[in-house]
Amino acid sequence: MIRDHEERVVWYSDPKLWVELFVLVNLAFLTLDIYIAHSINQFRRSAEYVPFYFSLCAPAVLAVGLAAEHKWHHSTVWRDLGYLVGWSAVAVGVAGVVFHLDSRFFYERTLKSLTYAAPFAAPLAYSGLGLLLIMNRMVDSKTLEWGQWVLLLALAGFFGNFVLSLTDHASNGFFRSAEWIPVISSAVAIGFLIVPLLMPVTSKFLQLCAAVLGLQVVVGVLGFCFHAEANLRGPSVYIWDNLVNGAPPMAPLLFVNLVLLAVIGLWVIHKRTSKEFI
């Protein structure tokens, strides 16, 4: 594939495309995730359908943009559709946070209520994906800065994982000690991924970061198995009820998901630091 006049880029080595696909797949998965999450609330408010329908439509719009860019070489179509979806996602995320402020935590503001509060930070996943789309259009993917932005957003995701796994498992009283694994694992991920953003690092440190990310994949898959097992032996005779009210089945896969994003960031940082710093 010819990307521009100066450089020939094969599609699989184009980080910009991978980020675009990452956002598309994530928005599509969020359709199912939101459906399960808001089913707990039985979609009591009509606004709860907004992220559901947005997640349903946005991937299709992005797919059209990608086709326009890569098949018909209409970069402006790709750019404008991306901005549309990106800014809309930011808006959906911010509005979601405002709606989630209605939760118990904001009545009582205690650690106890924080544990059971509607995850007020969760809608920021939309804002994060939106910012990725916008950044992908505003920053040159061949620069170190692009890689650092991607890593920063992945880092924010791991921070979200840290808070959510801590509060979600706290609501379970850390009944099984294995529930501490994602808390510790995401804390380690944050500790390592923040360093390339703060200071120049060596390629060996980036390899260490990659190893830490490998650990996150194991934790994510293990968590998915634990959650599935808990839901299969849940109190209800209906699996759906156990899925909705029990351990969130998709949540641990967020670790694997964020690893993909962080790897893209580290990949570009590694390429650029090799040229610029090391």
Is residue 194 part of the contact set for another protein (CB under 8 A)?
Answer: yes
Partners of residue 8 on adjacent β-strands: 2
In the complex with another protein, the residue whose CB is nearer, 143 or 207, is: 207
In the complex with another protein, the residue whose CB is nearer, 44 or 275, is: 44
What secondary structure, in 3-state letters, does 62-109 show? HHHHHHHHHCCCCHHHHHHHHHHHHHHHHHHHHHHHHHHCCCCHHHHC
Is residue 192 part of the contact set for another protein (CB under 8 A)?
Answer: yes
Out of 70, 104, 137, 271, the only residue in the binding site for another protein (CB under 8 A) is 104
Contact region with another protein (CB under 8 A), list: 13-21, 59-67, 78-86, 244-252: 244-252
Which residue matches tokens 């979609």?
A: 43
Is residue 202 part of the contact set for another protein (CB under 8 A)?
Answer: yes
Reported as half-sphere exposure (CB side, CA atoms, 13 A), residue 86 has a value of 17
Is residue 188 part of the contact set for another protein (CB under 8 A)?
Answer: yes
Out of 1, 45, 143, 172, the only residue in the binding site for another protein (CB under 8 A) is 172
**Total residues contacting another protein (rule CB under 8 A)?**
46
Is residue 210 part of the contact set for another protein (CB under 8 A)?
Answer: no
Rg (CA), the chain: 20
Kindly state the smallest distance separating residue 133's Cβ from another protein, in Å.
Answer: 28
In the complex with another protein, the residue whose CB is nearer, 67 or 211, is: 211
Q: Is 200 helix (H, G, I), strand (E, B) or coil?
A: coil
Distance CA(278)–CA(40), nearest Å, equals 51
Helix axes 203-232, 253-276, angle to 10 degrees: 170
Distance CA(191)–CA(13), nearest Å, equals 28
Q: Would you call 215 exposed, middle or buried from its count of C-beta atoms within 10 A (0-12, 13-18, 19+)?
A: middle
Question: Do residues 23 and 59 lie in contact, with contact meaning Cβ atoms separated by under 8 Å?
Answer: no
Out of 149, 162, 224, 267, the only residue in the binding site for another protein (CB under 8 A) is 162
Is residue 197 part of the contact set for another protein (CB under 8 A)?
Answer: no
In the complex with another protein, the residue whose CB is nearer, 11 or 174, is: 174
Is residue 274 part of the contact set for another protein (CB under 8 A)?
Answer: no
Is residue 116 part of the contact set for another protein (CB under 8 A)?
Answer: yes
Is residue 244 part of the contact set for another protein (CB under 8 A)?
Answer: yes
Q: Which two tokens stand for residue 265?
A: 């960031």
Is residue 187 part of the contact set for another protein (CB under 8 A)?
Answer: yes
Residues 76-95 within binding reach of another protein (CB under 8 A): none
Distance CA(39)–CA(245), nearest Å, equals 9
Q: What does the binding site for another protein look like in residue numbers (CB under 8 A)?
A: 40, 103-104, 107, 111-112, 115-118, 162, 166, 170-176, 180, 183-184, 187-188, 190-192, 194-195, 198-199, 201-202, 204-205, 208, 234-238, 241-242, 244-246
